Amino acid sequence: MIEIKDLHKSYKTGSNSLHVLKGINFSVAEGELVSIMGSSGSGKSTLLNILGMLDEADSGTYTLDGVPIKNLNEKIAARYRNKFLGFIFQSFNLISYKSAVDNVALPLYYQGLKRKERMDRAMAYLEKVGLTDWAQHLPNELSGGQKQRVAIARALASDPKVLLADEPTGALDTKTSYEVMDLIQKINEEGRTILIVTHEHDIAEMTKRIVNLKDGVIIDDNKVDQIKALQYV
């Protein structure tokens, strides 16, 4: 599903340049649930942003579902993001003036669906994350866990190939984190490929594979026995 080879990325700040990713080789098959770990500043978010086409690598190749991702202009990147990817952020990034269901429906607006169909689909995904009763609420009327579940529903709405989550539980307490992980595991069990950046070991252990980043390179990459989140909920 995801195939990257010899990926390099450096940031230029003023006169000095910071080499963040120093040759990443990495691939993810369909249906995997992978966590990316590493200390702060090791380049986890940078890698995920490149995978999400929110940022571009300096060199190396990236293939997503057989499509080579390179030299994208903004327009095509936007289209690919809409079609292939769903994002889940640490700070949720819901649009504050839109209700839960309108937030979930937004990716479908950019797919050009009619309003009725957008609403039907958005409601279906809200039901999936257990928030049917909260559909008409604004984000600031929801708890952190509920917000993240709305964000997950939104990420799923466009039926993407891959879900990318940057510290999805970073802003949540332990119990809520496990609820969210339970949801993520369920979604993964339906066959969806998911990548999660985290620096919490207990969260990483709820995935099926842990990739460790250090100083811009992968230092280890192991399959693990997944711990089910449900037992803690």
Partner 1 sequence: MFDLERWEEIFDTIRKNKLRTFLTGLSVASGIFILVVLLGIGEGMRNGISKEFEGDAANILYIWTGPTSVEHKGLNPGRIIRLRNSDFQTISQKYEDDLEFRSSVYRIWNGMVTYKKESGSYRVEGVLPDYQFLENSSMVKGRYLNYTDHENYEKVVVIGNRVSNDLFKGAEPIGKYIEVSGINFKVVGVFTDPGGEREENRVYVPLSTGQRVFNGSNYINNMAFTLEKADNFEAALAASNKFSAEIDQFLKEQHVVAPEDTRAITINNSLENAKRFYDLMDMIKFFFWGVGICTIIAGIVGVSNIMLIIVKERTREIGVRKALGAEPLSIVGMVLHESIFVTAIAGLIGLISSLALLELVGPIIETEFIANPAVDFRVALTTVIILIVAGALAGFFPAYRAARIKPIVALRDE
Residues that bind Mg ion (CB under 5 A): 45
- Report the 10 Å Cβ neighbour count for 190: 9
Three state DSSP letters for 158-225: CCCCEEEEECCCCCCCHHHHHHHHHHHHHHHHCCCEEEEECCCHHHHCCCCEEEEEECCEEEEEEECC
Q: Which partner in ligand ATP, partner 1, Mg ion, none is near 15 (CB below 5 to 8 A by kind)? A: none
Site residues (CB under 8 A) for partner 1, limited to 21-50:
49
Q: From the CB of 112, what's the least distance to partner 1, in Å?
A: 8
> With binding defined as CB under 8 A, does residue 74 bind partner 1?
yes
Which range binds partner 1 by CB under 8 A, 5-13, 103-111, 140-148, 180-188?
103-111
Phi-psi region of 73 (alpha: psi -120 to 50; beta: other; left: phi over 0): beta
Site string for partner 1, 152-181 (x = CB under 8 A): --x---x-----------------------
Q: Taking Cα atoms as reference points, which of 203, 65, 94 lies closest to residue 153?
A: 94
> With binding defined as CB under 8 A, does residue 13 bind partner 1?
no
Helices (H), the chain: 44-51, 74-84, 100-110, 115-128, 144-157, 174-189, 201-204
Query: Which residues are 108's β-sheet partners?
Result: none
Size of the site for partner 1 (CB under 8 A): 32
Q: From the CB of 97, what's the least distance to partner 1, in Å?
A: 4
Q: Taking Cα atoms as reference points, which of 1, 4, 2 lies closest to residue 218?
A: 4
Q: Which residues bind ligand ATP (CB under 6 A)?
A: 11, 13, 18, 20, 38, 40-46, 199
Q: Which residues bind partner 1 (CB under 8 A)?
A: 49, 52, 54-55, 74-75, 78-79, 81-83, 87, 89-91, 93-98, 102, 106-107, 109-112, 114-115, 154, 158
